[in-house]
Amino acid sequence: MEKAALISVSDKRGIVEFSRFLVDKGYRILSTGSTGKLLKENGIDVEFVEDYTNAKEMLDGRVKTLHPKIHGGILYRRDLKSHLDTIKQLGIYSIDIVVVNLYPFEQTALKTDNEEELIENIDIGGPTLIRAAAKNYKDVLIVCDPDDYRSVMDEFDSIDENKRKEYALKAFAKTSYYDGLIVEKLSNEWALKEKAVSLKIHSKLRYGENPHQEAYFARSPFKMGISDLVQLNGKELSYNNILDIDVVYRMMVEFDEGLCVIVKHNTPCGAAISDDQLEAYQGALECDPISAFGGIIGINSTLKKDVAEAIAERFYEVVVAFDFEDEAVEILKSKKNLRVIKLPKTNYSFFEIKTVLGGYLIQQNDYESEFRYEVVSKSKPTQEQLKDLAFAFKVAKFVKSNAIVYAKGGKTLAIGGGQTSRVDSAKFAIARANELNIDLNGCVMASDGFFPFRDSVDEAAKAGVKAIVEPGGSIRDKEVIEAADEYGIPLLFTHIRHFRH
C-alpha cells in the first residue's frame, strides 16, 4: 500500500524544504491548489488531490479535500483487517502524514470587520483534516505549525506514538483556538451555553506569585492591552508586575484628567490628578511614601523629563505611561533594573474571567465611571467637595474591598482597603495618615460599598472629614444619614457600588 503525505497550507513558510524531506523519506505528496503549484515549481513531484479523487475542486475552492479517498486514507485503523481490506479494495493511499495550516482568519479579523471577508476566511477542510489526523494519531503524524518542521525533520526516525500524541494535542488546541476566534469576532454574546475562549501564550514567566508556581502570560487576540506593551528598559516582567500593571493601566485609561497613580500589591497606595504632571506625581507619593517603595507608577500621558528625574530618586519596580519624552527614557535607564513600559490608550469595556476550583466566573468589567449621585443629607456639598468626592469614589473602585479613600485637592490623603470590616478600613487609613503626619481635616471620604453601621461616619467626623460619598443601600441607611446630619456632613449616595475582591 502506497504511503502518502497530504500537504495543504495557507502559511507556506518552509513548506518546500519540508516537502522535499518527506519525498526523500519515501512519501508520495498529495496536495491542493496553490500549495501543489508551489511545490511543482520547486521541482517536487506532486499528485493533486483532485486528480487522485477524480473530484474537481468546486465552489471557488470551498470544497477540495472533503472526500472519502482523503479521509479514509487518514482515518482507517491500521490494526483492523476490515479497514485494511476496504482501503486496498478502493485503492486508497495510506495517508500517514498530514501537513495542514489554516486560512488566516485571525490576521483577517485584525484588519477588517467585513463579515463577507471574514466568512470567506473561515477554513472548513483544514480543521477537518487536522482533527481527522489528530484523532488517528497512533498511526498518523499531524503537523499544523510551520515552526515544527525543523524538529520533525531532526527527530523523524525517532517519532513514536507518544510524540505523535503531543502533536495531535497541539492540533486540537489549534482548531479549538481557531473556532474560538470565529465566535469571538462574529459575536460579542457571552451568554452562549458553550464557548471556547481564544488564548495564545505570549510568554512563559519566570514563575507565578511565588517561585514554586509555574506561570504564563496569554493574550487575547482582538483586545488591545497589556500584550501590546513596549518595554524600553529593565528586567523581565514578573507575574506580580503584570497584575500590578493591570490596575495601573485600568486607572490610566479611565481617568480623563492628568493622573499619577502608585500601586503596590494590586491596590493603589496613592493617586492624584493635576494638569501639572510633577504635581500629580508628588501628590500621589505623599499619600504613602512608605508603601510606594518598590511600587508601580502609572502616568496617563507622555512622561516628562522632570518627573523622570523625581522618579529616579526613589526605588520603583515599574513605570508605565502612554509615552515618554526621549530625555525621560534616558534618565530612567540610569536605573538598569527599572522596568519602563509604554502602553497604548485603549477601550475600557471587556469581559473578565476568573478561575475557581472546577470552574470559571465571567463578568463584564466594572466600566461604570460616570459620577451620578443623590444628596441625602441636610448639608449640601460645595463644588470643590464634589470634585474631590468624584475623584475619591473613582479611586475607591480600584482599591481592594472593603475600600475607604480620603482625599482633598485632587489627591488621596489616605487609603484603607482589604479589611474584613469597613470601619476597620476607615480606621486603618486614619491611623496611617496620623503615622505620616497627614492632616485629614477638611478632606472628603469615599467608600466602595455601603456603610452597614454609622460607625464609619463617626470615625470620619473625628478625623475632620467634611463630605462623604457611598453607594447607600444598607438597612441602616437612615441611621447613617442621621449621623451625617448630626455632624453637618454632606452625604451622597451613588446607588452603585464598586466591590473589588
What DSSP letter does each residue of 28-82 carry, written as one string? EEEE-HHHHHHHHHTT---EEHHHHHT---BTTTTBSS-SHHHHHHHHS-TT-HH
CA atoms within 13 A on the CB side of 383: 0
Q: What is the DSSP string of 361-387?
A: EEEE---------EE-SSS---HHHHH
> Which residues lie below 8 Å from residue 366, measured CB to CB, with a gap of 6+?
397, 498, 500
Can you say how many angstroms the Cα of residue 220 is from the centroid of all Cα atoms in its chain? 5
Which distant-in-sequence residues (6+ apart) come within 8 Å of 257 by Cβ?
273, 274, 275, 410
DSSP conformation class of 271: E
Phi and psi at 355, nearest 5°, equal -90, 140
Instruction: Name the nearest CA neighbour of 90 among 49, 53, 48, 51.
Output: 53
The yes-or-no answer on residue 135 being catalytic is yes
Structural contact between residues 65 and 9, judged by C-beta atoms closer than 8 angstroms: no
Q: Pick the catalytic residue: 83, 135, 223, 333?
A: 135
φ and ψ at 20, to 5 degrees?
-60, -40
Respond yes or no: is residue 265 known to be catalytic: yes
Place of cell 507608577: 297
Q: How far is CA 384 from the centre of its chain?
A: 37
Task: Please report which helix (H) or strand (E) contains residue 351, including its range.
Answer: strand 351-356
Q: What is the spatial distance between Cα 137 and Cα 131, in angstroms, rounded to a whole number? A: 10
Longest CA span, the chain = 96
Candidates 218, 186, 192; CA nearest to 205 is 218
Sequence-separated (6 or more) residues with CB below 8 Å from residue 215: 204, 205, 206, 207, 208, 209, 239
Q: How far is CA 178 from CA 63, 101, 344, in A?
A: 19, 11, 26
Q: What is the DSSP track for 439-476?
A: --TT-EEEESS--SSTHHHHHHHHHT--EEEE----TT
Q: Point out the residues that are catalytic.
A: 135, 265
